[in-house]
A = this chain, B = another copy of it.
Amino acid sequence: MIVILKKNPDEKQLNNLMAWLKSMNITIHPSQGEMHTVLGLVGDTSVVDIDLLRALDIVEDVKRVQEPYKNANRKFHEEDTIVPVGNTQVGGNVFSVIAGPCSIESEEQVCLIATAVKAAGATMLRGGAFKPRTSPYAFQGLRGHGLELLLEAKKLTGLPVVTEIMDLSQLSLFDDVDVIQVGARNMQNFELLKELGHTGKPILLKRGLANTLQEWLMSAEYVMAGGNQKVILCERGIRTFETATRNTLDLSAVPMLKKLTHLPIIVDPSHATGISWMVKPMAFAATACGADGLMIEVHNDPKRALCDGAQSLTPEAFQDVMDGVRAILPHAYHMPKEVRL
């Protein structure tokens, strides 16, 4: 941590600061410039409150040298993390494709789609039972009953299932769910993250609509600090001034996260664009830049989907995307040679 002092700092306040830092076992390396004195702090600076430092009269600015996350930091864990999920895994030499309907509507619907996406090569089944909707008047999901139907589809196809939790009170219903999804709007629901850190379940953590990579990794850190290292990151678009697409898919995040963290990272082109015909080009791009997998909405009748029909693919269109992804995969950035899909 670097502390930049104001010109001619009050000596007594400076001594107080030095004493306080030393009391936390921080070693101080001062360097005197023309306009500023700069203090280099060495030691476990995670105990120092950066906001408090900034609040001091004699301090002009404080800059962090080290990332504030540890468990998620590749510097402390060089190997890629592989998250085992049922009979498959996320990360390593498996390219994961999580496909299924936005909302679970009926047993017939979810089973039909599950069978279709499995046939096309999907490695996991997604389906929403608890649905976050901006309007209280919109369909809110089949909730507990939806989970039951999803588990029927799991039994039928053998595909591990991924579904979203919206509140801690729902957790007991997720016993047979393979991967618990935390949605973008809950990325900083810290109470939820803490509790999920005490489960042994893989957590698929979506990026918040306006959250930085560092904040995202801090949310992963919340789960990991509780003991659960099975975190899968999912980029799903961020909010910008552009209105032609629903969100702006930030694909630069993929290689940058690969550098910052050892956790696997997948991409959801369906929610990012909100437009079904854009899923294919953006799935191709995500594959090419080194993502560990994709999350794609598929519906047997997108025109009648109870939510987000506009962004769902038909099973035929999904098969077409899969064919294209398989062709690009061997040529993708940093992809292990033996990658499987």
Contact = CB atoms under 8 A, between A and B. Distances in A.
A280 interface: yes
Contact of A166 (B191, B213, B333): B191
Contact of A284 (B241, B277, B333): B333
Contacts of A324: 331, 333
A88 interface: no
A10 to B, nearest CB: 13
A135 interface: yes
A307 B52 CA distance: 8
Interface in A44-69: 46, 49, 51-52, 54-56, 61, 63, 65-66, 68
A106 interface: no
Interface stretch (A29-37, A90-98, A107-115, A152-160): A29-37
B308 A51 contact: yes
B167 A132 contact: no
Given A241-B212, A250-B242, A331-B328, A255 B276 contact: no
Looking at chain A's contact residues, the main secondary structure is: mixed
Interface residues of A, number: 113
Oligomeric state, in copies: 4
Contact of A42 (B31, B222, B273): B31
Contact of A168 (B169, B190, B332, B334): B169
A33 B248 CA distance: 32
Contacts of A287: 288
Interface stretch (A117-125, A173-181, A198-206, A297-305): A297-305
A7 to B, nearest CB: 8
A136 B194 contact: yes
24 contacts: A31-B31, A33-B43, A38-B40, A49-B138, A51-B308, A54-B310, A55-B310, A63-B63, A68-B137, A136-B222, A185-B189, A210-B239, A212-B242, A213-B244, A214-B244, A238-B242, A248-B250, A248-B252, A249-B250, A255-B277, A281-B288, A282-B289, A285-B286, A324-B333
